[in-house]
Copies of this chain bind each other. A is one copy, B any other.
């Protein structure tokens, strides 16, 4: 079976696993006060070239929801793409963690918020008028839910709108490394230099077992975060498990290599599939995801050959205006990872083309 339904269907990289095993000796203070966690924070400060406050946890849902809760009061409006992960795939976690803030879906092609669409969305919520929730934050996903990547300039332009309206800027980096590879930018350039306040720095999808970091560039924003993390049950007792994963992930450019590999496999897959008659791509392949519209005959052949992809939303509003999925077609997402082999990709393409 070749499972490309997501980049979380594989386990951890052996490099990361080895580090967990190696970290398993001796006593360490509990609840995040261990040496591994503080070393991970120090390493992220180097990588981001900035003072940081880092909080480790096991899931991206928690990282996103906690980060948004740090940026928005219960009466806040949080702007995000209308098909973003925080809006659609977390069962209301942002609403739970913010105690009821409102996520405002902003439309946009290929999963991206434009400065113009953001301005227009913000305008619906007059500042200081009690009946209206108050614009508080914007959340960008990079890589987006459509597998596309905001350029540094695009991030900066959205953040500039946010800044003008005094919104905090959250960066959902579930696939941070994949976006970074595509951009050829430094972590600093992609984030605080472009106006980002808080990052959900994902590592699970790119080689860790379960490790995400919430990264603040301004310690004042992180002031109460330890209470939020604890009371939501996201402060692990054996914190070494998290810290050691992240240290290994960041060491020797392991995260860079993994993401580069995954992105390359996606390019290979995209090129191969596009060459198959009847297949077309919904969006540009800019990271490690390929969204393809396929004839049902090809889809059946792939399924029979043990290839798994994720059926996607045929009525997605992120599609180009003219695009529709025909009744004899399927819309599938393929996601490559650090573990996807060139043989796997070749098999998928060959099966599709056969």
Using CB atoms and an 8 Å cutoff, list the residues of chain A in contact with chain B. Answer: 1, 3, 5-6, 8-12, 14, 17, 20-21, 23-31, 57-63, 65-66, 73-75, 88-93, 95-97, 99-103, 120, 123-124, 130-134, 204-205, 209-210, 224, 226-238, 240-241, 308, 313, 315
Contact = CB atoms under 8 A, between A and B. Distances in A.
A264 B101 CA distance: 40
A205 B11 CA distance: 24
A289 to B, nearest CB: 15
Contacts of A313: 124
B227 A123 contact: no
Copies of this protein, total = 4
Contact of A96 (B3, B30, B231): B231
Contact of A233 (B1, B12, B65, B120): B65
A91 B210 contact: no
A131 B230 contact: yes
A24 B9 contact: no
Contact of A315 (B27, B120, B227, B234): B120
Contact of A133 (B5, B92, B99, B234): B92
Contacts of A120: 315
Given A3-B27, A8-B237, A130-B229, A102 B93 contact: no
Nearest to A205: B237
A230 to B, nearest CB: 4
A17 B5 CA distance: 27
Nearest to A16: B24
Contacts of A31: 130-131
Contacts of A234: 59, 62, 233
A62 B27 CA distance: 24
Contacts of A236: 58-59, 210
Contacts of A233: 57, 59, 61-63, 65-66, 90, 93, 97, 232, 234
Given A229-B130, A232-B232, A237-B8, A96 B100 contact: yes
B27 A17 contact: no
Interface centre among A60, A120, A231 (most CB of B within 10 A): A231
Given A58-B236, A96-B232, A88 B130 contact: no
Given A11-B26, A58-B236, A124-B315, 19 more contacts: A11-B24, A11-B238, A17-B24, A60-B237, A61-B231, A61-B235, A74-B92, A74-B96, A75-B92, A91-B132, A91-B133, A92-B133, A93-B231, A93-B232, A95-B101, A99-B99, A99-B100, A130-B227, A210-B237
A59 B1 CA distance: 33
Contacts of A1: 27
A52 B193 CA distance: 42
A62 B205 CA distance: 23
B89 A95 contact: no
B130 A91 contact: yes
B230 A210 contact: no
A100 B102 contact: no
Contacts of A66: 233
A240 B43 CA distance: 28
B30 A6 contact: yes
